[in-house]
Amino acid sequence: MAEITHRLIKTNGITIHIAEQGSGPAVVLLHGFPELWYSWRHQMSALAEAGFHAIALDMRGYGESEAPVGIENYTSFHVVGDIIGVLDALGEKQVFLVGHDWGSTIGWEVCRLRPDRVIAYVAVSVPFRIREPDSSAIQKMTKLLGEGFYWNRFQEPGRAEHDFASIGTTSALKNIIGGGANLKLNQVIAPKGKELSAALPVVKKLPPWLTEDDIKYYTKHFEKTGFTGPINYYRNMHRNWELAAPWTNTPIHTKVLFIAGKDDLVLDFPGSMAFVTGPAFREAVPNLQEVIILDGSHFIHEEQPQRFNHELISFLTGLKSDV
């Protein structure tokens, strides 16, 4: 089987790094925070073996991709533009799309803004909610969870970066990724008068699905780029809501599979589990094919790669005739 190859693509005014493996219908993989293309390492070989062309991006601001300066350069519209530019550069008119965490949010935006380019979408961890006209998600969560909630703590330029620097890049990544298996809502809400790192679990022993070599790979790249670009995605949450006004009350019509771990932090947000397992999610996504909740955490694609890959490839293979 072909090995993973890498290349840089100039598009949308910046350079995007992609990793590729295999040939066949294209499957574009979008990572979350604080991850890299590398987060899909278990999926790429499985997809290639199943007859797909796996394409994993370093999203703008991450890894080997360019990190433009300025919060305003990280709206969902910029990132969707990057993805469409990559597809154009590769000559891919339509693709299967897979997104996790922030990659899931961006994947929903691709389905909303450019549904003509997506055959079907596999969303991991983060569900789609129809845009409501009264307030943004960050306004609602601030009201529910207070100023210490991590979305809020990420808003002030430099604050989270300084906090992570105080404990070191390696420790920050270990505590966020390695602690993801057991992360609870109260552990992403900073105690009064303290920073977010004081709430995060201190991970001394990595879970079995994450190795020291994995952490070294992440650390190498985050020490080069820093956390500012990745955190700027959060700093555009309200702006994204404002810019999406033309899509108020608009559902997603793409065929979708939703996968999450039952202990996923996102499903611990107020009302989230009831939403994804109830009728409201299907109203927001009328072509939602299935909701699969596996035993596991926020990083389910890394924690349970064999089970995750089975569900992913079964879904994609069933839609190959749509290519």
116 noted as active-site residue: no
Cis amide bond preceding 34, omega within 30: yes
Other CB atoms within 10 Å distance of the CB of residue 18 = 21
Q: How many CB atoms lie within 10 A of CB 316?
A: 22
What contacts 140, CB < 8 A, 6 or more positions away? none
CA distance linking residue 48 with residue 55, whole number of Å = 10
Among candidate residues 82, 101, 163, 263, the one labeled active-site is 101
The alpha helices in 91-227, defined as continuous H runs, are 102-113, 137-145, 150-153, 159-167, 169-177, 212-225
Q: Which candidate in 82, 234, 263, 264 is catalytic?
A: 234
Amino acid found at 52: F
Which amino acid is it at 316?
L
**Per-residue DSSP letter, 136:** -
Is 268 annotated in the active site? no
User: Which residue among 78, 221, 298, 301 is the active-site one?
Assistant: 298
For tokens 């006209």, the residue is 133
CB count in 10 Å sphere of residue 38: 18
74 is catalytic: no
- The rounded radius of gyration (Å) of the Cα atoms in the chain is 18
The closest of 275, 8, 32 to 137, measured between CA atoms, is 275
| Residues carrying an active site annotation | 101, 234, 298
